[in-house]
Amino acid sequence: MDSPIYLDHAASTPVRPDVFEAMRPYFSERFGNASSTHRWGRETRTAVDEARERVAACLGAHPDEICFTSGGTEGDNLAILGAWRANRTHTRSGVACSAIEHKAVLGSVHECAHEGADERLLAVDHTGTLDLHAARAQIGADTAVVSVMWVSNEIGTIQPVRALAEHCHEHGVLFHTDAVQAFGKIEIDTRTLPVDLLTVSGHKFGAPKGAGATFIRRGLTLEPLFYGGSQDRGRRPGSENVPFAVGLATAMELTLAEHTRESARLRALRDRLEAAIVAALPDTVVHGHGAERAPHILNLSVPGTDSESMQMALDLAGIACSGGSACQSGSVTPSHVILALGVPHELAAAAIRMSVGVLTTDAHIDRVSTVFPMLARKARELASA
Amino acid sequence: MSNTPRVLVAMSGGVDSSVAAALLVRDGWDVVGVTMKLFADGHDLPDRPCCSLDSTSDARRVAEKLGVPHYVLNMVDHFSRDVITDFVAEYARGRTPIPCVRCNTFTKFSDLVAKADGIDAEFIATGHYARVVNGELHRGADDNKDQTYFLWGIDRAVLPRLLLPVGTMTKPETRALARELGLPRVADKPESQEICFVPDGDYVKILRRELPADAPALSRGHIVTLDGTVVGAHDGFAQFTIGQRKGLPGGFAEPVFVVALRPETREVVIGPREALLGSGVTAREVNWLVADAPRVGAAVQVRVRHRAPLVEARITRLDGGEIELALDAPISAIAPGQSLVLYDGTRVLGGGFIEASRPAIARA
């Protein structure tokens, strides 16, 4: 078999060699606790402070606006639950998110509801883009927190975050965006974008899993998720994960440095793959088609196939992709995101997500453009037999 | 593409299917492992010997160790529709269902074959104790472990594509081989005897969950003797099985057993040991696993309960999907809903679901 092709960059990416090298000393000789006063502590404190400045610079933020986390799930929880718990009032009890959020956001909003919040789900249209008109009507003086992702992790659609953030701003509502799939694909500048909270996750762009950060605008109070020491201004107690902070900063800088070129490259690869599959199987449904999409994600359903069988067949043919968002047990159920677009259950159960990235080459796209339609045709013949 | 034949192995995470997969790898097959997720992991189902998250990860770890790909197949909807629904309906009708047969018949084997077709796998394999010889199903070499009682319902067309690598071995041999093949993690795993989706063998809990609160099967009724005398009360006939002694009123001269359930009157009928004996049995939904299915008058051996001894019998009626047999020696506690499996020596001819038995001793 030819060497396997990784088309699941939206799930995770390899740690960049430069990131690995930058982190290495902090696993060995520079092991000190950043809270210690001695030389070991000073050297890691400096490293964390510098990392915080570098991450802040990448987001157009002040260093004190950056809170290091363990990644997207913690960041989403901290932003939503932290903002809700610290800012809820009797008259502001609404917590809203879009219907296509990552489980980390849906779960956090649901937890707010357990704590008394009025949970609101903001609808998307058939292209997977937030219905801004309807959302505006659901968000007002009675709303405490709104969280809407910038780029859908499953279908890649870009959400009208700026317009929504402005609306929230006007009504005194705190706004968080899960920018896990957006960073490195879309320009993010918190100086001009009126978001209060923004979450990124390192392993989507070459930092290790477990490295993340959340932007928390100055003046905003959050209830922390954990209690203990005063690290990260008490917002995230616990000894700082120095190597991961350094790794995250390095990966963010490298990602931004190549952003324009890489986005164009990925978009060309993705568009070529999409065109090839649609040309071979004209009844293919591309989810998010017609909407503005991030360059790296392609999600489609070939009618008459099922995602579970297709993923098996693709993997055995050496092509790694996903049927939606990867889930704990590795089992597959139709995605709530695809269903939220109004796609019929059977078609939703056929959805395959392919995401291009650092490992993707032209040759990969050539091969998948041939193999995917072949496997899909075969699956369809078997299903109809 | 290589020319090594591909086989799709159903891996539960237990010792039998793990060894089955390991043997196929050793013999040079292109092995692909799958674990079937049959029901949602609920809080009331902690760690089950099969289908649990733990078992799935055991299967994945075995596959990883063997260097073969492994996938989880979500069959929750199929299993619920084909197996659990029927299980509940059968108890509600006063019968004693055998869900493993329905699972093998409708879920496991048919879905496995469909998945196998999708990945160009000519063969499928499981860890069952049974053998396939010349396209026919035979009892496993280990009489204690033989699982053909649960396999009679599968489509005969599957047999030529079915590999049962542990069917020629005894359970202790399988365990020993697991250690030999470097699978110590699964070698000493406890046997799964219970029904996978029934926690602690408490099937009534499942019935209470699935049936309405006022379902007749779970409502109070009379315990009566064979002559109709009311001798007590019960909290639902679904809690009783033919042959059961537990939970019956005392004070009789000889031991009494449940001899019949009458769902239409909610009566549980009790009687002496002799009243349990059946001299004939009828079954429905008959499935043949051989090309030369036996005809009326044919002498066969039958089994009406897992692990029960084989009994000589003669086919007295065959009518579409129904079969009736006369037993050479009476059998005790033939429970409607269980399997009737027909054998010719080690060869499995076919089977059906027991509909009724003919009492050996005429009842009043």
Residue by residue, what is the 3-state secondary structure of A48-97? Answer: HHHHHHHHHHHHCCCHHHEEEECCHHHHHHHHHHHHHHHHCCCCCCEEEE
* Mean pLDDT value across chain B: 91
The CB density around residue A191, as the number of other CB atoms within 10 Å, is 9
Q: Which of B322, B267, B277 is nearest to B296 (CA)?
A: B322
The CB density around residue B219, as the number of other CB atoms within 10 Å, is 14
pLDDT of residue B7: 98
The helices-and-strands tally (H runs, E runs) of chain A is 12, 12
The CB density around residue B151, as the number of other CB atoms within 10 Å, is 30
* H/E element, A378: helix A362-384
Judge if pTM exceeds 0.90: no
Chain A residue nearest residue B37, CA to CA: A331
If contacts are CB pairs under 8 Å, which of residues 302-321 in chain A contact chain B?
308-309, 311-313, 315-316
State yes or no: is B51 an active-site residue: no
Q: Which of B148, B166, B128, B152 is nearest to B307 (CA)?
A: B148
Q: What is the CA radius of gyration of chain B?
A: 22
Q: Which of B32, B72, B114 sits opposite A316 (nearest CB)?
A: B32
Chain A residue nearest residue B113, CA to CA: A382
How close is the nearest chain B Cα to the Cα of A270, in Å?
Answer: 26
Contact state of A312 with B71 under an 8 Å Cβ cutoff: yes
pLDDT of residue B44: 42
Q: How many CB pairs under 8 A join A and B?
A: 44
Contact state of B72 with A330 under an 8 Å Cβ cutoff: yes
pLDDT of residue A331: 47
Q: To the nearest whole percent, how much of chain B has pLDDT over 90?
A: 76
The β-bridge partners of A186 are A183
Tracing tokens 């092509």 back to the chain, one arrives at A319
CA distances from B363 to B93, B259, B275, B294 (A): 22, 11, 8, 31
d(CA A153, CA A100): 9
| A218-243: burial string, b at 16+ Cβ within 10 Å, e else | eebebebeeeeeebbeebbeeebbbb
Q: To the nearest whole percent, how much of chain B has pLDDT over 70?
A: 94
Three-state SS at A370: helix
DSSP labels for A133-173?
HHHHHH-STTEEEEE--SB-TTT-BBP-HHHHHHHHHHTT-
Q: Which of A361, A152, A181, A153 is nearest to A272 (CA)?
A: A361
How close is the nearest chain A Cα to the Cα of B67, in Å?
Answer: 13
pLDDT of residue B38: 85
B48 pLDDT exceeds 50?
A: no
The β-bridge partners of B8 are B32, B124
Tracing tokens 């009842």 back to the chain, one arrives at B363
A292 pLDDT exceeds 80?
A: yes
The 3-state secondary structure of chain B, one letter per residue: CCCCCEEEEECCCCHHHHHHHHHHHHCCCEEEEEEEECCCCCCCCCCCCCCCHHHHHHHHHHHHHHCCCEEEEECHHHHHHHHHHHHHHHHHCCCCCCHHHHHHHHHHHHHHHHHHHHCCCCEEECCCCEEEECCEEEECCCCCCCCHHHCCCCCHHHHHHEECCCCCCCHHHHHHHHHHCCCHHHHCCCCCCCCCCCHHHCHHHHHHHHCCCCCHHHCCEEEEECCCCEEEEECCHHHCCCCCCCCCCCCCCCCCEEEEEECCCCEEEEECHHHHEEEEEEEEEEEECCCCCCCCCCEEEEECCCCCCCEEEEEEEEECCEEEEEEEEEEECCCCCCEEEEEECCEEEEEEEEEEEEECCCCC
> Tens of pLDDT along A166-186?
999 999 999 999 999 999 999
Angle CA(B166)–CA(B168)–CA(B170) in degrees, nearest 5? Answer: 75
Contact state of B115 with A330 under an 8 Å Cβ cutoff: no
Determine the average pLDDT of the residues in B174-203: 85
A332 touches chain B (CB under 8 A): yes
Contact state of B69 with A315 under an 8 Å Cβ cutoff: yes
B53 pLDDT exceeds 80?
A: no
User: Helix %, strand %, coil % for chain A, to 5?
Assistant: 45, 15, 40
Q: Chain-centre distance of CA B161, in angstroms?
A: 21
B364 pLDDT exceeds 60?
A: no
Q: Which of B364, B355, B360, B357 is nearest to B94 (CA)?
A: B355
Residues of B in contact with A308 (CB under 8 A): 71, 73-74
Contact state of B118 with A315 under an 8 Å Cβ cutoff: no
Q: Which of A278, A352, A341, A281 is nearest to A126 (CA)?
A: A341
Q: Which of A1, A308, A315 sits opposite B74 (nearest CB)?
A: A308
Chain A residue nearest residue B120, CA to CA: A313
A248 pLDDT exceeds 60?
A: yes
How close is the nearest chain A Cα to the Cα of B7, in Å?
Answer: 13
State yes or no: is B103 an active-site residue: yes
Question: Left if phi > 0, otherwise alpha if psi is -120 to 50, otherwise beta: which for A191?
Answer: alpha
Contact state of A313 with B60 under an 8 Å Cβ cutoff: no
> Tens of pLDDT along B244-278?
998 898 888 899 999 999 999 999 999 999 999 99
B37 touches chain A (CB under 8 A): yes
B41 pLDDT exceeds 80?
A: no
How close is the nearest chain A Cα to the Cα of B198, in Å?
Answer: 21
A384 touches chain B (CB under 8 A): no
- Pair A341, A124: CB distance under 8 Å: yes
Cα-flanking dihedrals φ and ψ of residue B292, to 5°? -95, 70
Contact state of B115 with A312 under an 8 Å Cβ cutoff: yes
If contacts are CB pairs under 8 Å, which of residues 53-82 in chain B contact chain A?
53, 56, 60, 69, 71-74
CA distances from A230 to A37, A240, A275 (A): 15, 11, 53
pLDDT of residue B2: 58
The CB density around residue B173, as the number of other CB atoms within 10 Å, is 14
pLDDT of residue A107: 97
Angle CA(B11)–CA(B12)–CA(B13) in degrees, nearest 5? Answer: 95
Q: Which of B34, B37, B117 sits opposite A329 (nearest CB)?
A: B37
Q: At residue B213, what is the residue type? A: A
Determine the average pLDDT of the residues in B221-226: 95
Q: Which of B239, B198, B247, B236 is nearest to B214 (CA)?
A: B236
Q: Where in the sequence numbering do the catalytic residues of A fall?
A: 327
Q: What is the CA radius of gyration of chain A?
A: 21
- Pair A201, A180: CB distance under 8 Å: yes
Of B282 and B45, which is predicted with more confidence?
A: B282
Q: Which of A355-369, B63-77, B190-204, B333-347 has the lowest mean pLDDT?
A: B190-204
A331 touches chain B (CB under 8 A): yes
B1 pLDDT exceeds 90?
A: no
The DSSP output letter for A3 is P
Which tokens hold the place of B12? 């539960």
Contact state of B37 with A309 under an 8 Å Cβ cutoff: no
Three-state SS at A269: helix
pLDDT of residue B46: 44
How close is the nearest chain B Cα to the Cα of A332, in Å?
Answer: 6
- Pair B135, B185: CB distance under 8 Å: no
> Tens of pLDDT along B2-37?
579 999 999 999 999 999 999 999 999 999 999 998
How close is the nearest chain A Cα to the Cα of B45, in Å?
Answer: 16
> Tens of pLDDT along A324-354?
554 444 445 688 999 999 999 999 999 999 9
Tracing tokens 């018949």 back to the chain, one arrives at B105
Determine the average pLDDT of the residues in A195-221: 98
> Tens of pLDDT along A41-66?
999 999 999 999 999 999 999 999 99
The β-bridge partners of B7 are B31, B123
* Mean pLDDT value across chain A: 95
B362 pLDDT exceeds 80?
A: no
Which tokens hold the place of A296? 């790296």
d(CA B255, CA A147): 69
Contact state of B56 with A330 under an 8 Å Cβ cutoff: yes
Determine the average pLDDT of the residues in A14-24: 98
pLDDT of residue B360: 85
How close is the nearest chain A Cα to the Cα of B190, in Å?
Answer: 23
Q: At residue B80, what is the residue type? A: S
A359 pLDDT exceeds 70?
A: yes
Q: Which of B69, B72, B118 sits opposite A309 (nearest CB)?
A: B118
Three-state SS at A31: coil
Contact state of A313 with B71 under an 8 Å Cβ cutoff: no
A118 pLDDT exceeds 90?
A: yes
B42 pLDDT exceeds 60?
A: no
The β-bridge partners of B130 are B139
Q: Which of A308, A328, A382 sits opposite B117 (nearest CB)?
A: A382
d(CA B167, CA A137): 66
B45 pLDDT exceeds 50?
A: no
Question: Where does residue A146 rank: exposed (0-12), middle (13-18), buried (19+ CB within 10 A)?
Answer: buried
Contact state of A331 with B53 under an 8 Å Cβ cutoff: no
Q: Which of B364, B341, B361 is nearest to B276 (CA)?
A: B361
> Tens of pLDDT along B108-155?
898 899 999 999 999 999 999 999 999 999 999 998 899 999 999 999
